[in-house]
Chains A and B, each alone.
Chain A
Amino acid sequence: MVYIFKRILQLIPILFAITFLSFGMMRLAGSDVVEQKTLNTGEVLSEEQLEMARTELGLDKPFLEQYFVWLSKILKGDMGESYVSGKDVFETFVLKLPATILLTFTSIITTVVISIPLGILAAVKKGKILDSVVRFFSFIGNSMPGFFVSLVLMYVLGIKLDIFPIISKGTGIEAIAMPTLTLAIAMSSKYVRQVRSVVLEELNKDYVIGAKARGVKYSVTLAKSVLRSCLVTIVTLLAISIGSLLGGTAIVESIFMWDGVGKMAVDAINMRDYPIIQAYVMWMAIIYVFVNLVTDITYRFLDPRIRLGEEGR
């Protein structure tokens, strides 16, 4: 408990830094809310009117003061309005978030289903043909950027074999299959290698030989001891890859027209819709930080050694 509390306390400066950077980025962009708004509505205002609007929004106040005003608004869920649609930024973000979470979730599940068995198999059959095949494919997957994988999948599965529609609206299986596959291919390629090397390391430990000598079935040792002790590393590595997954969804979502926050961000970038970009960066970072926190806490339950180590101090 003390540990969890400590970890949460440590988050506070990080969260401050994230919000500060997100805020600072807007200012760096040199984007003037007032000018942007008039640009979008097509109104022509005099310099005095602009000045008045700025005072009204508090843009003439010192930087730090503006930051804290902004921060207190954020805490109430007020992130301003989109330059383009004029809609509430936070609302837009919340509306699009479930689609991205769904895609992230299906991708992680697919990744786990593909890479953990293959990684273990490759480790057990080290040096055999199967191992080489797995490593070959993971190498290929590692050398292809996500958008290339997407387009190849579109070409092969969508156009040549005609299994999935190239672009499909909605959130059905047809629509989610290709983006999921794209993200899962990229993630599995990295992950399968890591699982393989973690399992290999574990297989080289003395207790595995010991179990063998005592006549314990290999499959039993594998399932009961090896897998269990690898679990922590496997979970950690998965959590780390969520960071790249969050970034990867931006490209994949906009290719497959999947209506999540990633596509929203890419559209916003093209339209220079800074409030939306800001919301995207900030919330993605916050989500990422919390995912890491949950991972940290989870593996203390999975591996008693970590708990003992901490409390022994």
Chain B
Amino acid sequence: MTGRKSKKIRLCIYGALAVLLILIAVFSDRLCPYNPYEQNLAIAYNPPSLEHIMGTDAYGRDMFSRIISGARVSIISTLVLVVIISVVGTLAGTICGYFGGLFDTVVMRISDVFLAFPGLVFALAIAAILGGGVSNAVIALAFVSWPKYSRLARGRALAVKEMTYVKAAKLSGDTPLQVIVRHILPNTIGTMLVTAMLDIGTMMMELAGLSFLGLGAKPPIAEWGSMMSSGRSMLQTYPWVVLSPGLAIFISVAVFNLLGDTLRDYLDPKQN
């Protein structure tokens, strides 16, 4: 169990699983056995069978194909979201920590306000005002989630800035840009990467949650959250319509969470 080698092996396994999920998302068009949007009312609500391994939904659409196709919306938009917030947050935080001054004060006060709001409540409101849709849901979540990264990056930048070698670099004539790129960012990137990895699962769930409430992807778009929402009333009679997209969310979130946890353990030997 212990030891760096076994951690490396686990990291590889979970990494491979995550890459597999991303590949499924990217090539979802070619992987679907049926057209996820083709309706055939004659086979509506068919239970899982060999032909349709996850059954069919209200319009006779193949659930398995819709779930594969939903991977594109759910996974890709989550990854885009996490990349946006981690990059923006890290850059803002690093600049704040390094330069201080007015910019620092302004950005930190803004992030104070965002941190004062309960995140999902605020995201709900923003998504509602922007009027739903996947990209608006991503914007809403990005809006409330970046301060966490800027806080973290600022703290790191403040600590690294005081180190002797950074002072030496400054004395030897490095421009601020050079100092940030060569010395500060390499020291923050590990923490930020782990945070971002651990955030993927949460963000995926929140994005699906917004879609579930009708504030993200809208039907007929195949997206896991909205699929569960539209099948919700059929839980008693046709449970596969509701539970299989839920299982898809669960599996993807679990894979990214495992990857994040392992990466944290791997990069931080102090743990355990």
The reply to whether the CB of A159 lies closer than 8 angstroms to some CB of chain B is: yes
A 14-48 contacts with B by CB, 8 A: 14, 17-18, 21, 25, 28-29
Are B118 and A288 neighbours in the complex by a CB distance under 8 Å?
yes
Is B163 on the interface with A (CB-CB < 8 A)?
no
Whether B209 contacts A18 by the Cβ 8 Å rule is no
Q: Is the CB of B232 within 8 A of A151?
A: yes
Evaluate contact between B243 and A151: CB separation under 8 angstroms.
yes
Complex CA gap A313/B246 in Å reads 53
Supposing A145-B208, A151-B246, A254-B213 touch, asked if A285 and B121 sit within 8 A by C-beta, the answer is yes
User: Looking at B123, B125, B209, which has the most chain A CB atoms within 10 Å of its CB?
Assistant: B125
Which applies to chain B's interface (DSSP): helix, strand, loop or mixed? helix
Q: Which residues of A contact B (CB under 8 A)?
A: 13-14, 17-18, 21, 25, 28-29, 139-140, 142-148, 151-152, 154-155, 159, 166, 242-244, 246-248, 250-251, 254-255, 265-266, 269-270, 272, 274, 277-278, 280-281, 284-285, 288-289, 292
Cα A139 to Cα B253 with chains together (Å): 10
What DSSP secondary structure best describes chain A's contact surface? helix
User: What residues on A are CB-neighbors of B253 within 8 Å?
Assistant: 143-145
Instruction: For B246, give its contact among A152, A166, A285 (CB under 8 Å).
Output: A152
CA–CA, A292 to B129, complex, Å? 27
Contact B119 A247 (CB under 8 A): yes
Decide if B112 is an interface residue (CB 8 Å cutoff). yes
- State the Cβ distance, B54 to closest chain A Cβ, in Å: 16
A254 / chain B contacts, CB cutoff of 8 Å: 213
Residues of A within 8 A of B209 (CB): 145-147, 251
Contact B213 A269 (CB under 8 A): yes
Which residues of B236-253 are within 8 A (CB) of A?
236, 239, 242-243, 246, 249-250, 253
Q: How far is the CB of A166 from chain B (nearest CB, A)?
A: 7
Contacts of A25 in B (CB 8 A): 125-126, 129
* Contact residues in A for B120 (Cβ distance below 8 Å): 244, 246-248, 250
B36 beta carbon closer than 8 Å to chain A: no
- Which residues B104-143 have CB closer than 8 A to chain A? 109, 112-113, 116-126, 128-129
Structural contact, A270 and B113, CB atoms closer than 8 A: no
Give the shortest distance, in Å, between B261 (CB) and chain A (any CB). 8
A143 and B212 within 8 A (CB): no
CB nearest to A31 among chain B residues:
B129
Q: Is the C-beta of B55 less than 8 angstroms from some C-beta in chain A?
A: no
User: Do residues A148 and B119 form an inter-chain contact, with CB atoms below 8 A?
Assistant: no
Contact B125 A280 (CB under 8 A): yes
Would you give the shortest CB distance from A89 to chain B, in whole angstroms?
14
**Residues of chain A lying within 8 A (CB to CB) of residue B254:** 139-140, 143
> Is B89 located at the chain interface by the 8 A CB criterion?
no
Q: How far is the CA of A251 from the CA of B129 in the complex (A)?
A: 18
Say yes or no: A148 contacts B239, CB within 8 Å.
no
Ranked nearest first, the 8 interchain pairs of A and B with the lowest CB-CB distance are A247-B120, A145-B205, A148-B246, A243-B118, A143-B254, A17-B113, A269-B128, A143-B253
Known: A28-B129, A247-B121. A147 touches B212 (CB 8 A): yes
Chain B residues with CB under 8 A of A142: 201, 257
CB contact list, B9-40 vs A, under 8 A: none
- Asked whether B92 is an interface residue with its Cβ less than 8 Å from the other chain, the reply is no
In angstroms, Cα B128 to Cα A278, docked, is: 11
| A266 CA to B128 CA, complexed, in Å | 9
B128 is contacted by which of A244, A246, A277 (Cβ under 8 Å)? A277
Cβ-defined partner of A247 (8 Å) among B118, B228, B246: B118
A245 CA to B28 CA, complexed, in Å: 34
Judging by beta carbons under 8 Å apart, are B116 and A250 in contact?
no
Interchain CB contact under 8 A, B257 and A143: yes
Contacts of A251 in B (CB 8 A): 209, 212-213
In the complex, B53 has a CB within 8 A of chain A: no
Given A266-B213, A269-B215, also A288-B239 (CB < 8 A): no
